[in-house]
Amino acid sequence: MRVSTVVDPIGTVTLVVAGTLSAECVADFDFALARARREGSDVAIDLSRVRLIDRPTLEYLNDLLGEEVRAVNCPAHLARWLSNANAPGRPARRVP
């Protein structure tokens, strides 16, 4: 997994995630996310370069999307996986 950071002129920090996301990557991702939250008022995660994701990390990302983090450039298959990862009784998140 690689994470690069892009800051736009209005202060949105976008984490561009590339490669395979697995539970082993969560600590590194948390570090990048914490830094992004300090740098900007709005945080987004660009998922367009994600190749593979395991279920625990999918559930982790799904939980993040409810904490002032939004997904951008989310491929259709990932959006479906994120929607299906919702636990029973939780509303489905709208992922672009």
Domain annotation covers residue 35: yes
Domain annotation covers residue 95: no
Q: For position 86, what pLDDT does the model report?
A: 59
CATH of the domain at 68: 3.30.750.24
**Dist. CA 36–CA 48, nearest whole Å:** 18
Count of the separate structural domains present in the chain: 1
Q: Angle at the Cα of 34 (from 81 to 83), degrees rounded to 5?
A: 15
Domain extent at residue 14: 2-84
pLDDT over threshold 80, residue 91: no
Domain annotation covers residue 92: no
Q: For position 48, what pLDDT does the model report?
A: 95
Q: For position 93, what pLDDT does the model report?
A: 47
Domain annotation covers residue 52: yes
Domain annotation covers residue 41: yes
Q: Which amino acid is at 27?
A: A
What is the per-residue pLDDT across 49-89, written as a single tens digit (0 to 9) for each?
Answer: 999 899 999 989 988 887 678 999 999 988 888 877 654 44
Domain annotation covers residue 89: no
pTM: 0.79
Q: For position 90, what pLDDT does the model report?
A: 47
Domain annotation covers residue 96: no
